[in-house]
Structure 1
Amino acid sequence: MKVHFYPKAILLLLLSVLLWSCQSSDSVKFAFLTDIHVVPGNENEMVFARAVGEINRSDANFVVITGDLSNMGSDAELNAVKAILDSLNKPYYILPGNHETNWSETGGATYKKVFGDDRFDFNQDTYRFVGFNTGPYMKMGDGHVKQEDMAWLQKTLSSGDKSKHIIAMAHYPLADGLDNWPEITETLKQQNVKMALCGHGHKLQMMNFNGITGIMGRALLSRDKTDQGYNLVELKGDSVWVSEKKLGQTPEQMFAWNIHESKQIEGLSISELPNYDINKQFERVAVKWDYTDSASVLGGFDMHPSGMLAWLSSDGYLRCINKTDKQMLWEHHLGTPQYGTPVFYKNMLIVGTSQGKVRAFNVADGMPVWETEFAHPIFGEGVVDGDQIFISLGKGGMASINASNGTLVWQFNDVEGFVQVKPCVTYKEVIFGAWDRHLYCVDKTTGKLNWKWNNGHGAILYSPGNVVPAVAKGKVFLVAPDRYFTVLDLKTGKQLYRTNEHQVRESMGMSADKEYMFAKLMNDTVVAYPTDIPEKGELWALDCGFGYEHNPCPMIEQNGVLYGGTKNGEVFAINTDGGQLIYRYKLGNSSVNKLMLNREGNLMVMLMEGHIFELAFPFGEEIKL
């Protein structure tokens, strides 16, 4: 046997090659955090700082955070998160969650200012990481990937190095709860994406996203606050290891698999595709007209007597079309994104913008007429009453503006949270809720406070911040996320009646004759109360069969028919005389944002995915309109 002796330099070279091969460049380890829910001074903030310190001492290459950085997406909360991340000695990539997009005093503007974009695309060795925003946007509802983000995702995934393993990241699971999950997962599968990470559920678990292996990360703190930690992901070649890292403890491996194998998710539940079979039961319902925008629509629309339709799009456009021929009459790019709803007033279209302006445009040619600038983003829908428009101003409270020339009549800004809701305007009062647990009633002429009512709940997220109250017979009616039906005295704000017998949410409506108040429950049911003596209890409660529900879109009533919409693109009509279902009809899979009746008595419907429909139904003698 011949023995070879190598010089010391050669031995060092061979050792270096051996070490390099053991630590191949396709080996990647990263910390995966989600649902950290920081509020300045709360326990989550302190635990997050500890986690960042621990990650700094680890061998992780980078950090990914998939949303719910904060509790309400406030400027103070986002800046508190950024201050801690500034101490991180590794690159980090971050996405918003529903707590940043649903409740935000700036409509997401501060998030982008502090963290940059709300999506990312980067490479690390042989892996590619693509993250995108899943909403929802300034209202309760399922998650939603905006149409322009869908286009970005398709374009991004179709370009770049095809040899890399692509890992998708989002806040919402790519399943039920994200309205356009079928389109998202098909787009990912077309580009051979085999793995997706998400948050939202607070529990570390493996999932099945329409055949894509999914990992939901654990939250920073357990719900009982006793368990603190984050997730670790290690990639090497085709292999994946996912571990739970409790603070101060050794990581515990939870899952391991080959990225090309699907057997790891066989047997795990998979979301069912949207089902339109309900439409077969109501074949007399007809889609008479429809229009599709190129972007999503996060607010509602308005109709002009001349046949014009106008709305704001998620890519920042104010659009006005001729309903007859669907031709675009004019459009303006106001800045992205937009959440409000335009309102026609005589020969003008008035809209509040995310850029903090109330603007008026000439209906005929779209030319600007006037604008009034405020200090905060505006998200809501104004109410025209006479020659005034009453409109919420975000953190600026509520305003009355001369609709003819834009002159500010009064502004009430003694609020502790932001105001986004469409106000209820009566003969003498303007009533509105805010994200500060209060309902406010101010004098319509002067804007002076008459009274304010507090729901008594400590959690701001239970505020009547996105419900349009109603007034009848000297009483104010409202429902809210605290799941109570409440009746107040109009003059004094004194609480007259309050019950949580039914799990109501934010969607309600009043009959045109003001004899009945209607509310949508969180599961299947619509309930009716008399407005004269509501404490008698409900007149009827109808199980409509639409499932779990939290869409805040107000219901409308006309000629004894109540119309409502759901978070999954379904509309329903109920005979209010006894509460019988007339029809249910599924138009899409995203939130119904606005319902209106046109001159023909047909139902106009706006879906968040950018679709507008006109529905006709031959009621005939069934309802005796």
Structure 2
Amino acid sequence: MRNIAFVFFALLSVPCLSFSFQQQNQAGDTLKFAVVTDTHIGKKGNDTGLAAIVEDINQNPDIDFVLHAGDVSDFGTAGELGEAKRLMEGLTKPYYIVPGNHDTGWSDSGGLTYNVHWQDQKFLADIGGVRFIGVSTGPYGRMSRGYVPLDQMRWLDSLVAVTPSDQRVVFLTHYPLDAGMSNYYELIEKLRKLNTVAIFVGHGHVNKVFDFGGITGIMTRTAQSRKGTFAYNTVVMTPDSAFVKMVDVGKAENPRWASLRLRGNTERPRIAAPESGSVPIREEHKVVKAAWTYQDSGNIVATPALWKNNVLIGNLLGEFKSLDIQNASVNWQFKAGQSIYSSAEVAGNRVVFGAADSMVYCLNAENGSLIWKLKTGAPVLASPAIHEKLVYIGSSDLKFRAIDLATGKVIWTYEGLAGFPPGKPAVGDGKVIFGTWNKTLYALNTKDGTLAWEWKNNDYSRYYSPAMSEPVIQNGKVYMVAPDEKLREFDLKTGEQTYVSDQFRVRESLGGKNSQSWLVAKTMQDTIVAWSTKKEEPAVIFKISGEFGRDFSYSAPAFDDGSTFFFGTTYGRVYAVDVKEKKVKWIYQLSEDMVNTVKPLKHGAGVVATSVDGKIVLLKGS
């Protein structure tokens, strides 16, 4: 079957593309359904496992419908999602599905391929008097905590407004509603306004019961083989209880592992709001103020660009805006065909960025008018670099292009990349350097696009690819970090690896100041490191504690025109660090969401920062 879908309007106050299916059960009847999760199609043997699960469900007369809690695929590719769709369509019973982080976080389409197969990343279904609601929890294109996108949160608000207060609600999402999701508290507050009796989640790969703010949470086991068996769970739900049993395909029947009382919305205790940050910000670091803060309508995973007195930024709704740097008023807005993951680059009065509609756009930075656009063969999630009137940018069509800034004409193309490039290339000394999500770092000759050299991280899986981080070119060397948490140095001309160190856990957040031969990084756990690259090997200038706790999000340190660099953290803070003084100058709590690579203004005039939850801020230190 069959992802049952017809549009459910229900007099919602805003348009939505949710889907609803009404079964014949009467209100109050017992519901019997299966929960499948974390199928990770793309890993060896998982297709066989899902096929066996589908066949087993089809043969079980006690199952009326199926929920899939995400991580449908392993890497979000078209092939993996297509195979998952084919297998799920073998069900003879209705099913309802949401994506997981493996479907959106590493997706070469920015999650669009999922939409091709399942139309939307959220759903609404009324079954036997119970309202089933599912949403995506990302993240999108970046390693960060999970989050429900802003547009889906607004959609939930519209459902709260029209859902009867006594109607039972069952919620489905991939991430558990805890600190692993940045806006879990706001989500729970919305669900508390409904008569939410249960929340089903995946992600953890085990069977487990939670308490999500007084609402019963049920995590179910991955469908993947464990101890030689593939598995799913069955649920029998009555008006006040849920009974959960794991089914090991081809094995003897298991006893129930959970018998749960489901509480209505009048029985739940209040929950405390989460505290910001892992360690309170010291008073001596609170010497920075926001000149203004702007809340965007869409989530943001890009670095802002600056043109004169304007901030230029795109969001995941496909909106590209110009904000007045004095007061954050909107000067103009341009609408791309799909989400914008790309950080824009400015040259003269032109601003260039890519979009998931497969386009590279060049706009007039003054008024937002289109100067040219270039159609590629797949979504453009990467960011451009502009050097000597050429735009260098990669695309998920596995091609890397040099484009004439004036005309939009392709000057040369390098084809056959090992994986898609999500980041920004570095350009210098006749080379353009970038990584891809298939373990490969490329160096192309800027003159004609021929391959100068490549390096493969064959010691690790594709999850450890040198993809997101922008390389740093200094003193005839290339510096690169990746999720394997090692700093690597390569000879720019030959590609020979001349240095590697795992002394500091540098994941992806690396930056530099070429005029001073400084290399700086944010690590996975608290530490901030600076090196000098003047000698044969990088020499540590300092390592200091940032007190930001665990950190795994990309935010490359960016220098101002002095000795201060800035970066953001997984948990929403912006840091200013002085290399000469070897200390943290200030810290600002912008959000609870990941902060992207920030943009310093000239002459110490401040820094513009963006966070995944759509906040844009101009910060000015004392």
Fold shared, TM-score > 0.5 on shorter chain:
yes
* 2:151 partner amino acid: E
Aligned mate of 1:56, from 58, 77, 96:
58
Q: Shift of residue 134 of structure 1?
A: 0.7
**Contact 1:433 / 1:466 at 8 angstroms: preserved in 2?**
yes
Q: Shift of residue 312 of structure 1?
A: 1.2
In structure 2, the partner of 1:36 is 39
Cα distance in structure 2, aligned partners of 1:354 and 1:147: 18
In structure 2, the partner of 1:197 is 200
Residue by residue, what CA displacement relative to the aligned partner does 1:257-291 show, whole Å, maximum 9, x if unpaired? 2211799999xx99944359426553321112221
Matches within 5 A, 1:265-276: 272-275=274-277
In structure 2, the partner of 1:18 is none
Matches within 5 A, 1:334-413: 334-413=336-415
Cα distance in structure 2, aligned partners of 1:576 and 1:227: 55
**Contact 1:176 / 1:271 at 8 angstroms: preserved in 2?**
no
Aligned mate of 1:214, from 206, 212, 217:
217
Structure 2, gaps ≥5 residues long: 1-24
Task: Give the TM-score normalised by the residue count of structure 2.
Answer: 0.91
Structure of greater Rg? 1
In structure 2, the partner of 1:128 is 131
In structure 2, the partner of 1:326 is 328
**Contact 2:27 / 2:129 at 8 angstroms: preserved in 1?**
no
% of aligned pairs identical? 29
**Contact 2:339 / 2:357 at 8 angstroms: preserved in 1?**
no
* 2:439 partner amino acid: R
3-state SS, counterpart of residue 320 of structure 1: strand
Q: Verify: 1:107 aligned to 2:110, yes or no.
A: yes
Cα distance in structure 2, aligned partners of 1:580 and 1:337: 38
* 2:64 partner amino acid: N
**Contact 1:207 / 1:265 at 8 angstroms: preserved in 2?**
no
Cα distance in structure 1, aligned partners of 2:312 and 2:517: 32
Residue by residue, what CA displacement relative to the aligned partner does 1:193-237 show, whole Å, maximum 9, x if unpaired? 232111111111111223322112211136x66453122221011
In structure 2, the partner of 1:479 is 481
In structure 2, the partner of 1:13 is none
Q: Shift of residue 534 of structure 1?
A: 6.5
* 1:126 partner amino acid: G
Aligned mate of 1:240, from 230, 239, 242:
242
**Contact 2:286 / 2:587 at 8 angstroms: preserved in 1?**
no
**Contact 2:211 / 2:217 at 8 angstroms: preserved in 1?**
yes
For the structure 1 residues 327 and 617, does the alpha-carbon distance in structure 2 shift closer, same or farther, using more than 3 Å as the test?
closer
In structure 2, the partner of 1:454 is 456
Q: Shift of residue 609 of structure 1?
A: 1.1
Cα distance in structure 2, aligned partners of 1:416 and 1:126: 50
**Which range is displaced more, 351-360 or 23-32?**
23-32
**Contact 1:279 / 1:585 at 8 angstroms: preserved in 2?**
no
Q: Verify: 1:505 aligned to 2:507, yes or no.
A: yes
For the structure 1 residues 366 and 49, does the alpha-carbon distance in structure 2 shift closer, same or farther, using more than 3 Å as the test?
same
Residue by residue, what CA displacement relative to the aligned partner does 1:126-150 show, whole Å, maximum 9, x if unpaired? 2111000111111111112211111
Structure 1, gaps ≥5 residues long: 1-21, 619-625
3-state SS, counterpart of residue 319 of structure 1: strand
Which one has more relative contact order, counting CA pairs under 8 Å at least 6 apart?
2
* 1:100 partner amino acid: D
**Contact 1:527 / 1:540 at 8 angstroms: preserved in 2?**
yes
Cα distance in structure 2, aligned partners of 1:517 and 1:252: 58
**Which range is displaced more, 385-394 or 86-95?**
385-394
Task: Give the TM-score normalised by the residue count of structure 1.
Answer: 0.90
Q: Verify: 1:443 aligned to 2:439, yes or no.
A: no
Cα distance in structure 2, aligned partners of 1:460 and 1:244: 32
Cα distance in structure 1, aligned partners of 2:192 and 2:409: 54
Residue by residue, what CA displacement relative to the aligned partner does 1:513-534 show, whole Å, maximum 9, x if unpaired? 2422122221111222321347
- What is the aligned-residue RMSD (CA, Å)? 2.3
3-state SS, counterpart of residue 174 of structure 1: coil
3-state SS, counterpart of residue 515 of structure 2: coil
**Which range is displaced more, 269-278 or 76-85?**
269-278
3-state SS, counterpart of residue 79 of structure 1: helix
For the structure 1 residues 616 and 384, does the alpha-carbon distance in structure 2 shift closer, same or farther, using more than 3 Å as the test?
same
In structure 2, the partner of 1:3 is none
* 2:373 partner amino acid: E
Residue by residue, what CA displacement relative to the aligned partner does 1:141-162 show, whole Å, maximum 9, x if unpaired? 1112211111011112321344
* 1:454 partner amino acid: K
Q: Shift of residue 24 of structure 1?
A: 8.4
**Contact 2:109 / 2:381 at 8 angstroms: preserved in 1?**
no
Q: Shift of residue 366 of structure 1?
A: 2.1
Cα distance in structure 2, aligned partners of 1:561 and 1:595: 13
**Contact 1:182 / 1:273 at 8 angstroms: preserved in 2?**
no
Cα distance in structure 1, aligned partners of 2:282 and 2:118: 44
Q: How many residues align?
A: 592
Cα distance in structure 1, aligned partners of 2:414 and 2:255: 54
**Which range is displaced more, 347-356 or 425-434?**
347-356
Matches within 5 A, 1:215-614: 215-221=218-224, 226-248=228-250, 249-260=252-263, 272-275=274-277, 277-278=280-281, 280-305=283-308, 307-533=309-535, 535=537, 538-558=540-560, 559-577=562-580, 579-601=582-604, 602-614=606-618
Cα distance in structure 2, aligned partners of 1:384 and 1:93: 44
Q: Shift of residue 334 of structure 1?
A: 1.4
* 2:322 partner amino acid: C
3-state SS, counterpart of residue 339 of structure 2: coil
Q: Shift of residue 503 of structure 1?
A: 2.0
